[in-house]
């Protein structure tokens, strides 16, 4: 019988891994099983748009059966409970299990709450289409209730965390909230939008010049930044800050931390203190080389010897690389070490603005950065499309040997 590849998670990393592996390996070479919580792939880099009502949920949810149709990839809808590396088994809900010869763990990240009391219980998070819908419908109901209840906390919105995800969400809300107010016949000046960050400034890792551009853009749209201000406790609707002040709000959204996946820790894999799986240069778990760990659940060290932040482009590259590694595992040949190519990053700041850097040197802001951001989204969909259509996929193998 041919070897079985089981891939856990159909996010950017897992889906591209499955498509790349199937591109290189025929159904006779290996079976491929893709396990995912939903029957859809999620464009999670667009979730901030969905949470603010600027994009439909449907456009962010891509049917997995339609992508893998006719490709001899078995899709299993299920939630992974544990990984049994001794017996090469994945255990799903309802006592179902899947045997594997090669396992790819691409289960994404968990939220890091830094043990802040009440934060997990009282804050929304934005890691799925369903969570985005929860946030969006909650915000809309705040505006609908305000004319009856008149409580200022209904129109006070607090985003915890000024990293990439937090700032993109703040930008989107800065554009969307005034529209909701106008629709509900509420004076726009009643809206309060806070961004709270423990670090001294917003967008850590970005050039200071871009940070200032972003901050000015958002402040001009009414955003109030509270930087250098850790959250110390969250009660039902009260966010307590270290300086003793507190903010009363019906809407607290936490984007302030990510960590590896608890399932990876529970399965006994080695992780760093933030729960990210330790992997070798071929993205394998060092002691169990038949297990690949890719995407946000894994730790990748960058050129400056510091961990790379978990991003879609990194997950995407790890997925493609692992598809190729699996080909070499089964068909032979030499693997080349994984080298991430971070070509830049662009943070959107709402519907019309963005800041970004490309190839670590060229800075962008405003309309041009926004266009680049849109282009990167389109590029991803094109890439899935190319793998999906079985069209010639340029430099499929050559990249590995670079």
SS3 300: coil
63 binds a second copy (CB under 8 A): no
* Binding residue for a second copy, selected from 148, 236, 362, 402, defined by CB under 8 A: 148
Distance CA 13, CA 293 (A): 10
Told to judge if 250 belongs to the known catalytic residues of this protein, a careful annotator would answer no
Beta strand 362-365 with 354-358: parallel, antiparallel or unpaired?
antiparallel
Whether the CB-CB separation of 354 and 218 falls below 8 Å is answered with no
Pairing of strands 251-254, 156-160: parallel
Rg, the chain, Cα only? 22
Neighbours of 359 (CB within 10 A): 9
Cβ proximity to a second copy, 76 vs 144, nearer residue: 144
Distance CA 380, CA 376 (A): 6
Tell me which of 2, 26, 137, 220 binds a second copy, using CB under 8 A: 137
Q: Which two tokens stand for residue 334?
A: 């030499």
Kindly write out the interface string for residues 326-365 of this chain, putting x where it contacts a second copy by CB under 8 A and - elsewhere.
----------------------------------------
How many residues of this chain interact with a second copy, rule: CB under 8 A?
23
Q: Which of 49, 168, 172, 250 is catalytic?
A: 168
Contact 255, 285 (CB under 8 A): no
Q: Residue 151: exposed, middle, or buried by beta-carbon count in 10 A (0-12, 13-18, 19+)? A: middle
Q: Please report whether residue 29 would count as binding a second copy according to CB under 8 A.
A: no
By CB under 8 A, residue 145 contacts a second copy: yes
Instruction: Candidates 2, 69, 97, 141: give the one binding a second copy (CB under 8 A).
Output: 141
Please pick, from the candidates 3, 38, 151, 199, the single residue that binds a second copy as defined by CB under 8 A. Answer: 38
By CB under 8 A, is residue 2 in contact with a second copy? Answer: no
* Count of alpha carbons within 13 angstroms of residue 302, beta-carbon side: 11
Read off φ and ψ for residue 59, nearest 5 degrees: -75, -10
185 binds a second copy (CB under 8 A): yes
Two structure tokens written together for 316: 């995407």
Residue 40, interface with a second copy (CB under 8 A)? yes
What order do you get walking across the sheet with 246-248 strand by strand? 231-235, 238-241, 246-248
179 binding a second copy? (CB under 8 A): no
**Which range, of 96-104, 129-137, 168-176, 385-393, touches a second copy by CB under 8 A?**
129-137
Residue 62 interacting with a second copy (CB under 8 A) = no
SS3 386: helix
Q: Which is nearer to a second copy, 102 or 113 (CB)?
A: 113
Binding window for a second copy (CB under 8 A); candidates: 77-85, 125-133, 153-161, 257-265: 125-133
Comparing CB distances to a second copy, the nearer of 130 and 281 is 130
What is the DSSP secondary-structure string of 327-377?
HHHHH--PPPPP-----EEEEE-SSS-EEEEETTTEEEEHHHHHHHHHHHH
Contact window for a second copy (CB under 8 A) among 54-62, 69-77, 248-256, 276-284: 54-62
Q: Which stretch binds a second copy (CB under 8 A): 2-10, 136-144, 154-162, 351-359?
A: 136-144
By CB under 8 A, name the binding residues for a second copy: 38, 40, 56-58, 61, 129-130, 133-134, 136-138, 140-141, 143-145, 147-148, 183-185
Catalytic positions, written as ranges: 168
């Amino acid at each position: 019988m041919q070897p079985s590849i089981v891939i856990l998670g159909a996010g950017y990393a897992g889906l591209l891994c499955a498509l790349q592996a199937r591109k290189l390996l025929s159904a006779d070479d290996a079976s491929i099983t893709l396990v995912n919580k939903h029957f859809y792939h999620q464009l999670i880099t667009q979730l901030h748009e969905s949470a603010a009502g600027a994009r439909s949920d449907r456009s962010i949810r891509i049917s997995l059966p339609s992508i893998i149709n006719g490709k001899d990839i078995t899709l299993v809808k299920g939630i992974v409970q544990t990984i049994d590396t001794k017996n090469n088994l994945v255990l799903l809900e309802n006592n179902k299990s899947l045997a594997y010869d090669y396992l790819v763990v691409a289960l994404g990240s968990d939220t890091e709450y830094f043990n802040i009391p009440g934060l997990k219980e009282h804050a929304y998070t934005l890691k799925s289409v369903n969570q985005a819908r929860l946030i969006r419908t909650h915000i809309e109901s705040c505006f609908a209730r305000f004319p009856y209840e008149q409580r200022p906390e209904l129109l006070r919105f607090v985003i915890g965390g000024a990293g990439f995800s937090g700032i993109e969400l703040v930008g989107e809300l800065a554009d969307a909230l005034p529209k909701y107010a106008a629709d509900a016949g509420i004076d726009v000046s009643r809206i309060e939008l806070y961004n709270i960050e423990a670090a001294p400034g917003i967008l850590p890792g970005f050039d200071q010049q871009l940070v200032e551009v972003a901050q000015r853009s958002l402040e001009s749209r009414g955003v109030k930044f509270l930087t250098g201000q850790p959250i110390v406790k969250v009660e039902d609707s009260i966010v307590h800050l270290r300086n003793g002040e507190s903010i009363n709000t019906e809407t607290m959204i936490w984007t302030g931390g990510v960590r590896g996946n608890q399932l990876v820790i529970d399965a006994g894999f080695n992780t760093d203190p933030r729960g990210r799986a330790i992997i070798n240069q071929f993205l394998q778990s060092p002691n169990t080389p038949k297990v690949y760990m890719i995407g946000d659940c894994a730790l990748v060290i960058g050129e400056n010897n510091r961990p790379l932040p978990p991003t879609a482009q990194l997950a995407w590259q790890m997925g493609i690389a692992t598809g190729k590694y699996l080909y070499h595992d089964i068909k032979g040949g030499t693997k080349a070490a994984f080298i991430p190519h971070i070509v830049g990053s662009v943070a959107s700041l709402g519907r019309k603005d963005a800041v970004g850097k490309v190839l670590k040197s060229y800075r962008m802001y405003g309309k041009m950065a926004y266009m680049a951001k849109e282009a990167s989204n389109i590029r991803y969909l094109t890439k899935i499309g190319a793998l999906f259509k079985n069209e010639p996929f340029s430099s499929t193998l050559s990249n590995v040997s670079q």
